[in-house]
Amino acid sequence: MTRVVITGMGLITPLGRGVNANWKSLISGISGITSINKFNTKDFSCKIGGQVPTNKTHPSFFDVDSFISPKDKKRMDDFILFGLAAADDAIVDSGWKPQNDMQCDRTGVIIGSGIGGLQTIYNNSIVLKEQGPRRISPFFIPSSLINLISGQVSIRHNFRGPNHAVVTACSTGAHAIGDAARIIKYGNADVMVAGGAEAALCPLGVAGFSSIKALSTSFNDYPEKASRPWDQSRDGFVMGEGSGVVVLESYEHAKSRNAKIYGEILGYGLSGDAYHITAPAENGDGGFRAMKGAIDDAGLNLLDIDYINAHGTSTPKGDMIELNAVKRLFQKNVNNLSMSSTKSSTGHLLGASGSVEFIFSVLSINNKIVPATLNLENPSDGCDIDLVPISAKDKEISYVLSNSFGFGGTNASLVVGPSP
């Protein structure tokens, strides 16, 4: 069976642009969650979010004008811009540039989004209502469609291999990476650019999630304290935005060009709850089966897993459902592993969360550091395993399990290991 390795990574998150900048902030316990300033939150119950920093005073701010022209920028929703920038960074990091038609045909893209161009759709609905159909831009549809991240990346880099997009809510990024790895394993491509992107931190997005009481509202005056997985005071997730993209290759392809290798994708598990449109099944069986499937696919034993990057969104029910599923799966071996939620630092990037957290998982292996669960000051009853509260910790890490679960009962788990 073909082995699949990671050779490039790119991150755009509320912590900034760049893998190194993100990792440094993450392990330093810095939160990217702030008061929302991109729109007026006066009438909103939730006034906080994880915004991608664009102010030049931020040490790793996202400068959209540095990689795309003003004309092209107007033709893309922010989720495409985030995905395109993260993909650019990952591709540069990988050092891969096809030199002939065959190499172009063997390089593909799978970058998805949970929601897509929500703000662009909203803006055009207002134009339609107030100015009529003739005033709608011809770029409206291609600036909103979720698969246009993959399309734009392929056009920009002349990648002519498999090209599609995943849309599985908050499991999107993980599913995209898992599916891309399988495309390489099946021999349909040598290189895949994969991940997720999201830019739903807009009035309609915040209003929508607020209406189902999914967002934190108790920490509007202390934004950095709001995302607190497994803490007794948690009251909902904090929405974030951004993108995480990786370059995957067959091991033989990477080795043939002397590429640096960050790690290897070993296992991929996926399942469905068949339970509820927004809530996870209370017995956590869907997550349990996704985790077990990923570990079985990797050919590992439960004892081999050193760290779990949890879905851990900071919701009252979801956090404990995931924790109990982990306990059920690992049983006595649960005391040998660490589990944390990096959403405590970035917020919940929805369709981008799985790919962002996959990259954090790879970095934890390479740096032998487990990121912390920020704000975990008073753990809920039953939180009797190592949830890495408050501060990152040093640890020998060989194998990481990364979880992503989404609305509609969609679940994905990935197992990543060290470079072969």
Active site residues: 170, 311, 348
Based on its alpha-carbon atoms, the radius of gyration of the chain, rounded to whole angstroms, reads 20
Handedness of CA 159, 161, 164, 169 (dihedral sign): negative
Intra-chain end-to-end CA distance of the chain, in Å: 14
Q: Is 394 exposed, middle or buried (0-12, 13-18, 19+ CB in 10 A)?
A: exposed
Residue 129, CA distances (Å) to 97, 118, 331 in order = 45, 17, 57
- Helix/strand/coil for 189: coil
Q: In whole angstroms, give the CA distance from residue 101 to residue 277.
A: 44
Question: Could you tell me if 244 and 180 are in contact, meaning their C-beta atoms sit under 8 angstroms apart?
Answer: no
How far is it, in rounded angstroms, from Cα 406 to Cα 146?
A: 17
List CB contacts of 341: < 8 A, sequence separation 6 or more.
229, 230, 309, 310, 311, 312, 313, 314, 319, 373
Please give the backbone phi and psi of residue 399, each rounded to the nearest 5 degrees, phi first.
-130, 130
Q: CA–CA separation, 375 vs 263, rounded Å?
A: 30
Distances (CA, A) of 145 to 126, 242, 361: 18, 17, 29
